[in-house]
């Protein structure tokens, strides 16, 4: 069998807080007259649109070629990572995600949701919620929900284009108005909403809150946490490489000022995921060349282990893989 970099059709999801900016900034072809909040780039049910496997889903290919596509770390079931773009034209709910242990005990799900965000675009004075503004207990927060004083207890932080935010499970958080992000996360859609700005959903009804489970999962020790994690960067001849995170669940690198050729090798333990934020690249190897444009995401099957990434013009990339 011949394996090659796989391009998928993104799955668009309407959200009450969404907009049309994925079209403007990432060249997405959105459904007409839809308020799109999320574009799921890599997920089990995404459909391959290039090459021999065109028309098949990632899940179908993984079931047929688990080691070739997923690598030795892939243990069957869901693909371990979910890659999204989010367009927030209003505040998302104030929410929290469970860790692996709590996801299993509360929902019977195999994994929780640790995630990270890379800010693709941000309006002036754009902000997020990240942790608490002061030391409180679960009962204090429950009382604030009941009394309508939630916002006073939350830590609001301004963000700008190029910021990186690591959001471990248990972190209370919310994405703010006027922000577009790339999101890398464990494959889980378990979200506990604690506050939703007293608004109605797309169906005209208030969206469900999950206060009891959410408070069980919330880490109340995160008081005014810093957004800025220490990262390492190296300047190569044709690009700058920065390690944004390398945690038990996933790794994420940023490649900037990319104008030449990157020889990319990996050990076959995991598939690699490349997302293009700026420019156009060509991926070359023992397969037909694959051209990837701005706003697109491509999956490198684990068995490839080596390829050339060639910048057709000045490009910026994010490269991810799972660690477990």
Query: Coil, strand or helix: which one is 144?
Result: helix
Query: β-strand 81-88 against 127-132: which pairing, if any?
Result: unpaired
Task: List the Cα angle 304/307/308 in 5-degree steps.
Answer: 170
Q: Which of 249, 262, 66 is nearest to 169 (CA)?
A: 249
Q: What residues have CB less than 8 Å from 151, skipping those under 6 apart?
A: none
Rounded to whole angstroms, how far apart are CA atoms 201 and 211? 18
Q: What residues have CB less than 8 Å from 183, skipping those under 6 apart?
A: 82, 83, 84, 85, 86, 115, 116, 117
Neighbours of 123 (CB within 10 A): 16
Could you tell me if 227 and 135 are in contact, meaning their C-beta atoms sit under 8 angstroms apart?
Answer: no
- Annotated catalytic residues are 193
């Amino acid at each position: 069998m011949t394996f090659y970099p796989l391009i998928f059709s993104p799955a668009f999801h309407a959200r009450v807080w969404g907009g049309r900016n994925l079209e403007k900034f990432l060249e997405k072809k959105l459904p007409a007259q839809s308020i799109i909040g999320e574009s799921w780039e890599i997920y089990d049910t995404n459909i391959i649109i290039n090459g021999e496997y065109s028309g098949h889903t990632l899940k179908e290919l993984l079931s047929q070629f688990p080691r070739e596509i997923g690598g030795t770390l892939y243990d069957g079931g869901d693909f371990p990572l979910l890659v999204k773009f989010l367009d927030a034209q209003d505040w998302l709910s104030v929410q929290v995600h469970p860790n692996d242990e709590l996801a299993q005990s509360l929902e019977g799900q195999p994994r929780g949701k640790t995630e990270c965000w890379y800010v693709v675009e941000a309006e002036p004075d754009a902000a997020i919620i990240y942790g608490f503004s002061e030391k409180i207990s679960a009962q204090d927060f429950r009382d604030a929900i009941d009394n309508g004083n939630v916002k006073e207890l939350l830590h609001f932080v301004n963000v700008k284009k190029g910021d990186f935010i690591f959001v471990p499970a248990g972190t209370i958080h919310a994405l703010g108005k006027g922000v577009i992000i790339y999101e890398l996360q464990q494959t889980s859609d378990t979200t506990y909403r604690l506050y939703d700005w007293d608004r109605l959903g797309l169906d005209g009804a208030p969206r469900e809150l999950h206060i009891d489970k959410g408070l069980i999962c919330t880490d109340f020790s995160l008081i005014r946490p810093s957004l800025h994690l220490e990262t390492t960067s190296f300047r190569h001849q044709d690009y700058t490489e920065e390690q944004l995170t390398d945690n038990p669940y996933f790794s994420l690198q940023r490649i900037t000022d990319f104008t030449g050729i990157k020889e990319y090798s990996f050990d076959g333990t995991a598939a690699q995921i490349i997302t293009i934020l700026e420019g156009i690249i060509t991926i070359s190897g023992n397969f037909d060349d694959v051209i990837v444009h701005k706003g697109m995401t491509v999956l490198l099957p684990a068995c490839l282990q080596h390829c050339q990434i060639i910048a057709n013009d000045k490009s910026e990339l994010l490269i991810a893989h799972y660690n477990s």
